[in-house]
Amino acid sequence: MPRRVGYKVTRPGRKTDDPEIELPIAQDIRSEPGIPRRDNEVSYYAREFPLESVAEEQSASAQWALDVREEAAPETAELYREHAEAITPIVEWLKTTGDQQPTTEPSGEDVSEVIRAKARELGYGEVGFTRFDRRYVYQAKRQYVRGELSTAICLAVEQDYVKSQEIPSLESESAHGEAHERQGELAKDMVEFIHSLGYRCQVWGPTWHFGPMIPLFVDAGLGQLGINGQLLSPHFGSRARLQVITTNAKLRLDAPVDYGIHKFCDLCQVCSMRCPGRAITPDKVWFRGVEKNKLVFKRCRPVMTRYSGCGVCIKVCPIQKYGMKPVMDHYIETGEVLGKSSPNLEGYTLPDKGYFAPGKLPRFDSDFFDMPLGRAEDWLVDRFKEKLEREGAKGDGARDKLWEEYRDDLERSLELKALPVDMGMDLGG
C-alpha cells in the first residue's frame, strides 16, 4: 500500500554536472534529524570515559589477525602489505598538515561555497560543514589535535560500485584500498587550496583518524547511521569512504537531516539477518548517549580476517546497492524494502563455504571465534604468565628463554601499532 510522503529532501547530484535529486521521506519513517542523541550523556562519557580507537583497545586481535589471515587468506594478506606500503607515505604527510602554514592572508569572507565547489570539482561525492566536536576525539590522539581549527569539512569518496558488489573478495578489498589511496591524493589538493585562501587545516584519514567520523558526517547532513554501523549516504550508501579536514576558515555550517534511515533500518534488517558472524544486533540500545545498533566485535573480526574484510553488511544494504532515492521511492509506492529476500540483493559467496541464498547462513566450528580481546600488551602479559606457570619450573634457563620471547613479542607489538595492519582500520598511538 502506498505511503504518505512526510517531506522531501533535496541533495546535489552524484557528480558535479548531475541534476539535483529529490528524496521523498515517508511519514511513517520520520524520526529526528541526525542521530537520536542525549547531549548531556555524550558529554558525560567523553569526560569520564574518553573514547579510544579499536586499534588501541583491541590491538591484541589486530596482531592475532595478522597470523590468521596469512594462513586463511594469503592473497588478502599480500594485498594488505602492498596497501600498507602505498598508504604509509600518505599517512606520514597528513600527520604534518596541522603544522603547515597558509600561503596568503585570509580575506575574512565566507568561503563555504568556494570550498564546496572545489571539493566537488576534485571528485569528492559528498561535502558538508559542521562544528568540530572534540567529544569524539580518541584519548591517544588528543595530543595531535589542533584545537583552534574548530570547523570540520566532511568529505566522502565513492568506493568503486562494480567491485563492491563482489564483496567479499580480493577485488572488493582492492577497491577499498584504491579509495583510501585516492583520498590521500585528493587531500593534498584540498590542503593546498585551503592554504591558498589564507587558512590553516589538519587532515584526518585515510587510516590516521583522530576519532569516529560518522557523528560529524551526520551533523553535516550527509547521511545517517545505519544498523550496520556505517554511514548511509544518499548516493553511495555504506560505500562512502570518509575523510575530515578541520580548519579555521570561515564556513557556514550545515544541519543534520532526517533521511528516514533510523526507522527504515528497523524495517529492513537485511544486514542483520545476512551477517555471516551474526554480529549485528537487530535492536537499538542507548550507548554513550546515542541510540544505535551495537556490533559484536568478537563475532565480526574473525570473519573479516578470514574472508577479505568481509563487508557483507555493505553488500546487502539496499541503500548501497540501489541508492537512497530508488529505495525510498519504492517504499513510498509499495511499503516494502527494495530487493529484500531476493538473491540480487541478499545472495553472497564465501570462498570455502559456497553460495548463500536469502535465508541461508554459513556455519562455523566452535573455535572459529576464539580470538584474544583487549590491548596487545595485556594479552602478551597474560600469555607470558601462562607459559611461566607451565614451564617455569624447568629452571632458570627456561625462564630466561620465556622472558626473551616476551620481550621480542612486546617489541613486535609496539612496531605493529604504527603499521596499517588491516585495510581501512585506524592506526593506533
- Which tens digit of pLDDT belongs to each residue from 181-215? 999 999 999 999 999 999 999 999 888 889 999 99
> Across-strand partners of 126?
156
Average pLDDT across the chain, whole number:
93
Region 164-190: mean pLDDT is 95
Q: 426 vs 86, which has greater pLDDT?
A: 86
Specify the pTM.
Answer: 0.94
Give residue limits of the domains in the chain: 1-375, 376-416
pLDDT-based confidence at residue 69 (cuts at 50, 70, 90)? very high
pLDDT-based confidence at residue 49 (cuts at 50, 70, 90)? very high
Q: What is the amino acid identity at position 94?
A: L
- Contact in structure between 87 and 330 (CB atoms under 8 Å): no
* Helix 376-391 and helix 396-416, axial crossing angle in degrees, nearest 10: 170
- Which tens digit of pLDDT belongs to each residue from 129-144? 999 999 999 998 999 9
Residue 421 confidence (pLDDT): 66
**What cell was used for 317?**
544494504
Region 325-350: mean pLDDT is 97
Residue 415 confidence (pLDDT): 77
- Contact in structure between 178 and 263 (CB atoms under 8 Å): no
Is the pLDDT at 419 greater than 80? The verdict is: no
